[in-house]
Structure 1
Amino acid sequence: MQRRKFVRTAGLGSAAVAASATLAAPAIAQSMPELKWRLTSSFPKSLDTLYGGSERLSRIVAEATDNKFQIRVFSAGEIVPGLQVADAIQNGTVEMGHNASYYYFGKDPTFALGTAVPFGLNTRQMDAWLTNGGGEQLLNDFYKDYNIYGIACGNTGCQMGGWFRKEINTLDDMKGLKMRIGGFAGQVMARLGVIPQQLAGGDIYPALEKGTIDAAEWVGPYDDQKLGFAKIAPNYYYPGWWEGCATLHTFIGLDKWNMLPKPYQAILRAACADTNAWMVGKYDADNPKALRELVASGVKLLPFSAPIMEASFKAANDVYAETMASNARFKKIYESMAAFRKEEVLWFRVAENTFDTFMARQSAANKI
């Protein structure tokens, strides 16, 4: 009898615990403030992966907070132009934005290290540096001077080398070329005789069409196909040595970040991590088909020559040395990234690259 009584009592106890847990969840949710933030993106809605990352982030945050924390997303130009996201956050126009840190190279070259620099890290290496190599903390120590807190939120993977009206076979072919390319890559290209131009994504096609520029780089086959560059500049080069990856960031006003309840901060970080993985996967899934279609339409797929790659590598290292000599903040972060890169490249040479190279040979032999 006592055993049966114990079981009944234990059963009631379990039910009571379950009931209290059910009641506790809404109570916790009710204790969280209702927030309605605005996010301005650097990208147009037509770029469903870059712009879509912001929408995914917003949806995850809303679902995880039972709509207590809502983030309304605006595309480039709806509130501010695509290259003014950081400014809008600094002056309090919006609470947050989704963009590429290197768009603000003009403010300080150190911004470029948050996205990509020529001959820098690949996608996995960048993620490793940010999460386990001290990169995120170093960048946020820098961003705080601009009242910004940054969280990695998306990556395009290694990019293509861009679209050119004419073939680029030698270094002499680079001289006098007007190309949409900015930041450190623009400085490196300038050493090769290129005239760099910084343009937002939505402005590239009109500039190519009017002849204002002779070449342009953007992302890769999936996005480039959408923007229609092949109609004007049919020579498609690879690789984009200036972007072995391209990390996007969610920028948040530092004061807004600091006032967020810890659960909201955790949810926002988790949403950014999810979006980061989703974006890499989407590009990896969509680029092959787009590239096949572009080539089938008459696009010439061409590699940069070895002399151009070697000259670009030397020019990049010269630019880094000069920048480090005059910019202590850049020097501190770049040296961390460069040391991490050295170890990563050694490791990747052992297993990753060996495996990839073997599989590439099988593909070339039509065995897979």
Structure 2
Amino acid sequence: MKRRSTLINTLLAASMLAGTAATAAEIEGPKVFWKISMWGNPRALSAGMEEMAKNAAEATGGNFQIKIFYGGQLSGARENLDGLKLNAFEGAAICNFYHPGKNPAWMVFSLPFLPLGDPAVDRHVRSKLFEHPALIADMERWNAIPYVSGLLPQYEILGKGKAPNDLSDWAGMRVRAGGGLGSALEKLGAVKQTLPAGETSTAFQRGALDAAAFPFTYAHVSFKISDEADWYTTNLTPGTSECGWLFNKTAYEALPPQYQEFLMSQRETIMETTQAAYAEQDKKNLPVFQETMAQVTYSDEQLAEFREVAGKPVWDEWIAANSDKFDAQGLFDAVWSYAEEAK
């Protein structure tokens, strides 16, 4: 009798658990497993996507599983677009300056001195640009669709050796900086390098690099640049870039509508989580920077000179170089228009 009572209790418990699991699935659907390609280690940039993956599993009772593969396990940083085109995985992160020829319209994000310093404005502008026809067309060539921005903070620069306290000190300095940001530094006489993030610390150690521009402060720590540096700029804020997230178009269109709707509903959550992760990293990293490195702070006059030399000239060159590929002037103007909307 006792064994029968135990069996009944066990069956009742299992039935209750099954009922709980059933009610936990807010979204009914088939079992789907998605692979997302990413280089480097888990970090603030990927915090929002990790949150989305967790939410996907919870909302579907475990049926929609999304896993981010780090360290280039699925593809190198420069080959993620190729992998999407080949249907090698269902999603990927890209940095626009790793392959400017593959995503020419996306290089607008890397132009210097865009009005993206305020996090709220930055978020609005990037969200709107992810729906811009020129950016969508860039990705269609790679069987990809834009999903959500990585919201990279404004860059600052860390370096070794003599600190560039005067703008003239940048002449001849080898700086890891991509896109229009790199072009802006070239206007000061620097030598632009476009190394993948994971190779930058090694380049410092080998003496092949003098300075590196990364989103401040999290990326400098994530890629161990701060371990090598002697100084950092505090207020150069020359610009940023776009390391955002894409979906494989074939895979996305094959999803049931309820999964598609879920993914699109998560974009605000992803961006909120990502920005919070950046802020948390700054809170932790900045005191360490202040204790271990010399600070390079420029005067208003020096910053105005930098913008005059490396702002509009770089914009004009970019627009002229791309006007035969897409409406470069229209895309550039859209950035400023969207920024005005956000104010």
So what's the TM-score if we normalise by structure 2? 0.81
Local SS of the residue matching 2:195: coil
Instruction: Summarize the alignment of residues 76-115 of structure 1 with structure 2, pairs less than 5 Å apart.
Output: 76-113=71-108, 115=109
CA contact (8 A) 1:152 1:248 kept: no
Distance 1:302 1:105 in 2: 30
Distance 1:216 1:26 in 2: 47
Shift of 1:72: 2.1
Q: 1:173 aligns with which of 169, 172, 190?
A: 169
The residue number in structure 2 matching 1:155 is 151
Instruction: Summarize the alignment of residues 209-358 of structure 1 with structure 2, pairs less than 5 Å apart.
Output: 209-239=205-235, 241-243=237-239, 247-297=242-292, 299-306=293-300, 308-314=302-308, 315-328=310-323, 329=326, 330-341=328-339, 347=343
Distance 1:153 1:261 in 2: 24
Question: Against the structure 1 CA distance between its residues 161 and 308, is the aligned structure 2 distance closer, same or farther, given a 3 Å change threshold?
Answer: farther
Give the aligned residue type for 2:284.
Answer: K
Shift of 1:207: 0.4
The residue number in structure 1 matching 2:44 is 49
Give the aligned residue type for 1:109.
Answer: P
Question: Against the structure 1 CA distance between its residues 151 and 312, is the aligned structure 2 distance closer, same or farther, given a 3 Å change threshold?
Answer: farther
**Per-residue CA distance 1:5-25 (angstroms, 9 max, x = gap):** xxxxxxxxxxxxxxxxx9x97
Shift of 1:182: 1.0
The residue number in structure 1 matching 2:111 is 117
CA contact (8 A) 2:177 2:213 kept: yes
| Alignment pair present for 1:204 and 2:195 | no
**Per-residue CA distance 1:151-202 (angstroms, 9 max, x = gap):** 2243243332333432112232111111111111112212221111111221
Local SS of the residue matching 2:245: strand
Distance 2:142 2:270 in 1: 24
CA contact (8 A) 1:119 1:313 kept: yes
User: Aligned pairs, how many?
Assistant: 317
Provide runs of 4+ in structure 1 moved above 6 Å: 24-28
More helix, by proportion: 1
Distance 2:129 2:228 in 1: 43
Q: Compare 327-336 and 99-108 and name the one that shifted more.
A: 99-108
Question: Against the structure 1 CA distance between its residues 29 and 124, is the aligned structure 2 distance closer, same or farther, given a 3 Å change threshold?
Answer: closer
Give the aligned residue type for 1:41.
Answer: M
Question: Against the structure 1 CA distance between its residues 27 and 71, is the aligned structure 2 distance closer, same or farther, given a 3 Å change threshold?
Answer: closer
Unaligned stretches of 5+ in structure 1?
A: 1-21, 348-368
Distance 1:172 1:163 in 2: 16
Distance 1:312 1:337 in 2: 21
The residue number in structure 1 matching 2:9 is none
Shift of 1:75: 0.8
Distance 1:184 1:110 in 2: 12
Distance 2:254 2:329 in 1: 31
Shift of 1:141: 4.0
CA contact (8 A) 1:190 1:196 kept: yes
Local SS of the residue matching 2:132: helix
**RMSD, matched Cα:** 2.8
Unaligned stretches of 5+ in structure 2?
A: 1-19
| Alignment pair present for 1:128 and 2:117 | no
Give the aligned residue type for 1:260.
Answer: L
Shift of 1:63: 1.6
CA contact (8 A) 1:154 1:277 kept: no
Shift of 1:130: 4.1
So what's the TM-score if we normalise by structure 1? 0.76
Question: Against the structure 1 CA distance between its residues 275 and 62, is the aligned structure 2 distance closer, same or farther, given a 3 Å change threshold?
Answer: same
Q: Percent identity?
A: 21
CA contact (8 A) 2:167 2:188 kept: yes
Local SS of the residue matching 1:161: strand
Shift of 1:38: 1.0
CA contact (8 A) 1:102 1:183 kept: yes
Structure with higher Rg: it is 1
Distance 2:222 2:68 in 1: 21
